[in-house]
A and B are shown apart, each in its own frame.
Chain A
Amino acid sequence: QQQVKQSPQSLIVQKGGISIINCAYENTAFDYFPWYQQFPGKGPALLIAIRPDVSEKKEGRFTISFNKSAKQFSLHIMDSQPGDSATYFCAATASGTYKYIFGTGTRLKVLA
């Protein structure tokens, strides 16, 4: 029940295309869902996050879609660029627990 399942494991997208990464969770107590971007040899950087009171959040080319009933959330990268090539992690946490449950990561490669 504590798992966050992330898919796909890897993704190749053409420049200008849409990258979509999905995560699913079981624990209905989770109330904060962040996405992280990690470049090789660097620490993960918080990209965008959502709470379950909204179904979508957009920041620039990055959008989180959230489906509370299905217990799923996804990251959409519009107009994908080669500079977006990185590993993306989803996570989930419940208020007061201090701990994140991370997905296993998706390695995105955007072809020029």
Chain B
Amino acid sequence: SQTIHQWPATLVQPVGSPLSLECTVEGTSNPNLYWYRQAAGRGLQLLFYSVGIGQISSEVPQNLSASRPQDRQFILSSKKLLLSDSGFYLCAWGGLFNEQFFGPGTRLTVL
């Protein structure tokens, strides 16, 4: 069966510090991968998606970037965090029939 992992689970970072969030998927190959952000009590905002290694599509201009160095690894990064980057970051993988399966999320607080 497929499993998706995200780490860390929680993170508190000062403004201006770098960021690296990691997502890995097990039990499937060449999945579509997604990064979403969810503000407190709000909906899901798609940040990036990838249909293959090295292929990244950006949905929202911002100081975040994404990379896919391996088939089942998706990384979200920032060189300098802003207060507005605080939120709940969710990774998801896409199945064969359009379904998306979400990971447990990373709670990021920027102070």
Contacts and interface: CB of A to CB of B under 8 A. Distances in A.
Interface stretch (B13-21, B60-68, B102-110): B102-110
Contact of B46 (A43, A99, A105): A99
A105 B43 contact: yes
A99 B49 contact: yes
5 contacts: A32-B99, A43-B90, A43-B102, A44-B90, A46-B100
Given A43-B104, A98-B51, 13 more contacts: A32-B99, A34-B99, A34-B100, A43-B92, A43-B102, A45-B102, A46-B101, A49-B99, A89-B44, A99-B59, A103-B43, A104-B42, A105-B43
B73 interface: no
A100 B46 CA distance: 8
Interface string A85-101: 00001000101001110
Contacts of B87: none
A95 B32 CA distance: 13
Given A44-B102, A95-B98, A89 B90 contact: no
Interface in A41-62: 41-46, 49
A104 B43 contact: yes
Interface centre among B42, B43, B100 (most CB of A within 10 A): B100
Given A43-B102, A46-B101, A102 B49 contact: no
Nearest to A33: B98
